[in-house]
């Protein structure tokens, strides 16, 4: 039987298959070396029996890992993060879980301040769901005040009217709490099955109007250095990659903000030419009116990216015979080039910078690499472009 990648797909041998392959191979080679057929005792209390069984188990685990990797590139078999990645390739993002909310009435002494994040309890499957205030409030002269609260856990947390009645984090002057109406239940994270369905629907309707095609065309506009495009293909407003998108709409973010009026108009034209009818646009940075083929005005909206300066502090160990002056400018240029290659929403990864600096001749090791004063990656919002600010190299 053939194993591995075949015309029928990937066929992973099992541990039992490896056991037979290893033992048959051992007998064949040993018999050839001795010039006569041999008989081997494969019992579990014999060394050869034990070692070959252990080998087969380990090889079987590796084969299962190979099967998992193979399955991860097939949307029909991929799950979790692997499916998320396949969906993102065609511009579809998994819909995250949302939080239940309700308006709660606080009762107590007038003038008492209840701060954001204070907890109350009630509702949920066991009656002990917890809810947090979304803002600071002050009890009014009448002894009450209404405030919006949000469930601590995402998903479909229910609470009928009056179910929220317990103060978890008390404040002097706050005596009671209740919700006059049922909570607006959140929704669970989109399932793998639903995400597969939306991904397939997107492929069937996108064609040449895909998000990747739109982004590629935006980057061809004179003056545009970076661009991102996200979409909300559901019937309610949703946050996609940190951007609030109205139902059935796209959001475009470009860089830089110094585009001329003509360049802004060109960006709007590209967006209009690539979106299907009925697809709305989001944004407050630029509002441009395009005339369609029928002579009617069409309003196109988009935003400019914001920039976040990043200071980079590097401490290196030098190879014998090298001074800091030999490597300093080379390291600074490499870091600057790294940030210039980032697009809107791209993260600055310290591991990538470590690897980049390690290739500089004369650098033995990078002992410290801080971004904006912390030894952490910087993962910005989708609308933010990271730019190199001050780069300091010491030893």
Cα dihedral sign for 336, 342, 347, 351?
A: negative
Over residues 266-317, the pLDDT tens digits come to: 999 889 888 877 788 998 888 988 877 667 788 999 999 889 999 999 999 9
Considering the domain architecture, whether residues 300 and 312 belong to the same structural domain is answered as no
80-89, 320-329, 364-373: segment of lowest average pLDDT = 80-89
| Assigned domain for 67 exists | yes
| Degrees to nearest 5, angle at CA 126 with 124 and 129 | 40
14-23, 27-36, 186-195, 196-205: segment of lowest average pLDDT = 196-205
pLDDT of residue 345: 85
Distance CA 67, CA 78 (A): 11
Q: Are 149 and 169 in contact (CB under 8 A)?
A: no
Domain end marker among 262, 279, 304: 304
| Assigned domain for 91 exists | no
Considering the domain architecture, whether residues 120 and 60 belong to the same structural domain is answered as no
| Assigned domain for 25 exists | yes
| Degrees to nearest 5, angle at CA 394 with 388 and 395 | 145
Instruction: Residue 249: give its domain's CATH number.
Output: 3.30.70
pLDDT of residue 176: 95
| Assigned domain for 78 exists | no
Over residues 191-242, the pLDDT tens digits come to: 888 888 777 765 544 444 577 778 888 888 888 888 889 888 888 888 888 8
| Assigned domain for 46 exists | yes
Of 328 and 211, which is predicted with more confidence? Answer: 328
Domain end marker among 72, 92, 123: 72
Domain end marker among 179, 201, 230: 179
Considering the domain architecture, whether residues 172 and 240 belong to the same structural domain is answered as no
pLDDT of residue 376: 92
Q: Give mean pLDDT, residues 138-162.
A: 93
| Assigned domain for 187 exists | no
Considering the domain architecture, whether residues 55 and 123 belong to the same structural domain is answered as no
Q: Are 306 and 381 in contact (CB under 8 A)?
A: no
Task: Indicate the pTM of the whole model.
Answer: 0.43
pLDDT of residue 206: 47
User: What is the span of the domain harbouring residue 246?
Assistant: 210-304
Considering the domain architecture, whether residues 337 and 372 belong to the same structural domain is answered as yes
Cα-based distances in Å from 266 to 258, 283, 366, 378:
14, 16, 45, 32
Choose among 383, 348, 341, 379: nearest CA to 241: 383
25-29, 162-166, 212-216: segment of lowest average pLDDT = 212-216
Over residues 59-117, the pLDDT tens digits come to: 888 878 777 776 666 677 778 888 888 777 766 778 888 899 999 999 999 999 999 99
Considering the domain architecture, whether residues 250 and 295 belong to the same structural domain is answered as yes
| Assigned domain for 79 exists | no
Number of domains the chain contains: 4
Cα-based distances in Å from 270 to 217, 245, 247, 360:
7, 19, 21, 42
| Assigned domain for 83 exists | no
Residue 138 predicted with pLDDT over 60: yes
Tokens of 331: 């390291």
Residues of the chain with pLDDT > 90, as a percent, come to 35
């Amino acid at each position: 039987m053939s194993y591995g990648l075949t015309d029928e797909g990937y066929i992973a041998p099992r541990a039992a298959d490896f056991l037979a392959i290893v033992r048959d191979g051992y007998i064949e080679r040993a018999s050839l070396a001795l010039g006569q057929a041999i008989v081997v005792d494969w019992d579990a209390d014999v060394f050869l029996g034990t070692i070959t069984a252990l080998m087969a188990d380990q090889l079987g685990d590796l084969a299962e890992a190979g099967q998992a990797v193979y399955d991860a590139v097939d949307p029909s078999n991929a799950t979790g993060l692997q499916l998320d990645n396949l969906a993102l390739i065609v511009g579809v993002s998994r819909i995250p879980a949302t939080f239940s909310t309700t308006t709660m009435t606080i009762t107590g002494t007038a003038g008492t301040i209840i701060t954001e994040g204070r907890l109350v309890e009630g509702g949920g499957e066991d009656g002990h769901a917890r809810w947090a205030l979304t803002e600071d409030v002050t009890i009014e002269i009448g002894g009450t005040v209404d405030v919006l609260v949000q469930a601590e856990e995402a998903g479909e947390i229910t609470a009928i009217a009056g179910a929220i009645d317990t103060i978890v984090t008390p404040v002097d002057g706050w005596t009671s709490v209740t919700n006059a109406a049922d909570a607006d239940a959140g929704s669970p994270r989109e399932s793998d099955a639903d995400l597969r369905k939306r991904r397939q629907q997107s492929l069937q309707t996108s064609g040449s109007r895909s998000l990747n095609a739109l982004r590629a065309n935006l980057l061809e506009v004179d003056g545009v250095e970076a661009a991102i495009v996200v979409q909300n293909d559901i019937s309610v407003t949703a946050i996609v990659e940190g951007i609030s998108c109205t139902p059935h709409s796209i959001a475009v973010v470009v860089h830089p903000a110094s585009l001329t009026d003509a360049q802004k108009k060109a960006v709007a034209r590209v967006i209009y030419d690539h979106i299907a009818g009925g697809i709305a646009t989001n944004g407050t940075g630029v509002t441009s009116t395009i005339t369609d083929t029928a002579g009617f005005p069409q309003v196109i909206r988009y935003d400019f990216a914001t920039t976040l300066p990043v200071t980079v502090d590097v401490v290196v160990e030098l190879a014998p015979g090298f001074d800091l002056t030999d490597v300093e400018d080379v390291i600074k240029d490499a870091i600057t080039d790294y940030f210039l290659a980032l697009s809107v929403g791209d993260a600055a990864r310290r591991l990538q910078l470590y690897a980049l600096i390690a290739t500089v001749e004369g650098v033995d090791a990078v002992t410290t690499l801080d971004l904006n004063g912390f030894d952490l990656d910087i993962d910005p919002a989708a609308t933010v472009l990271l730019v190199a600010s001050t780069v300091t190299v010491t030893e």
